[in-house]
Amino acid sequence: MNLLLISNSTNAGEEYLKYPIAEIAKTLEGVSEVVFIPYAAVTFSYDEYERKVQQRFNEIGVKVNSIHRALNKRNFLRHAQAIVIGGGNTFALLKKMQEEDLLDTIFRRVKGGTPYIGWSAGSNVTCPTICTTNDMPIVQPASFRAIGLVPFQINPHYLDANPEGHAGETREQRILEYIEANRSRYVVGLREGCMLRINDNGIELIGSRPMRIFKKGMEIFEVQPGDNIEFLIKRTR
């Protein structure tokens, strides 16, 4: 596989998709156009989302073709040079992909070597489920089962901070609840400005910040960019 899983699209004070564009270009080497899935967009249109991504992808000479324009969407995916799924609301994204029966087609294409890039919700849906998303369930998908390209769960936009005066659960507490109920699953807290590359060479954390690792029966620990994190994918290799 050739996956680039990005925590967030935009760092504070930066332009949209600016910080990961060099890594996106590496992933799309030799690719002239991509199939884009915009279904995580809720407060703006799929057309707007396509244009927004195209503006950044113009810098690397890649054409963005949104799947919402295609009549036969699964066939559109079968001929994709690469697949890109943008962020937004993970529940809306998964519901629409389930309704259009896209999950298995994406799984087969990416397992067969088609490059895949996702950010935020687009990273969430590569996991076994979307149960570690941060998003509000504004719609109800048929199930929480996602594409299942990786055997671990991602919590994008992972935050350590607990705002002053906030008496609710922290992100860490929510993930601890998840691993209590899902004891065999690793969860990675992927901080903003960071991404995971997964290919034939293994798995790599890219960015300037560590990633937090959760699993039932283990002390929470952190890994740095450059550390060996093969344990996250060894069951699928």
Enumerate the domain spans of the chain: 3-154+190-206+227-236
The CB density around residue 216, as the number of other CB atoms within 10 Å, is 15
Could you read off the pLDDT of 159-215 as tens digits, one per residue? 887 666 665 678 899 999 999 999 999 999 999 999 999 998 899 999 999 999 999
Could you read off the pLDDT of 72-102 as tens digits, one per residue? 999 999 999 999 999 999 999 999 999 999 9
Query: Catalytic one among 45, 157, 160, 208?
Result: 157
Residue listed under structure tokens 């687009």 = 122
pLDDT on residue 235: 57
Q: Considering the entire predicted model, what is its pTM? A: 0.95
CATH superfamily label, 3-154+190-206+227-236: Class I glutamine amidotransferase (GATase) domain (3.40.50.880)
**Residue 157 annotated among the catalytic residues of the structure:** yes
pLDDT on residue 163: 65
| CA 234 – CA 237 distance, rounded (Å) | 5
| CA 179 – CA 181 distance, rounded (Å) | 5
pLDDT on residue 43: 96
pLDDT on residue 237: 35
**Residue 120 annotated among the catalytic residues of the structure:** yes
Query: Catalytic one among 7, 9, 120, 123?
Result: 120
Let me know: does 25 contact 138? Beta carbons within 8 Å.
Answer: no
* Percent of the chain whose pLDDT exceeds 70: 96
| CA 188 – CA 159 distance, rounded (Å) | 12
pLDDT, averaged across the chain = 95
Phi, psi dihedrals of residue 68, rounded to the nearest 5° = -70, -15
**Residue 79 annotated among the catalytic residues of the structure:** no
Could you read off the pLDDT of 6-36 as tens digits, one per residue? 999 999 899 999 999 999 999 999 999 999 9
Query: Catalytic one among 7, 9, 68, 135?
Result: 135
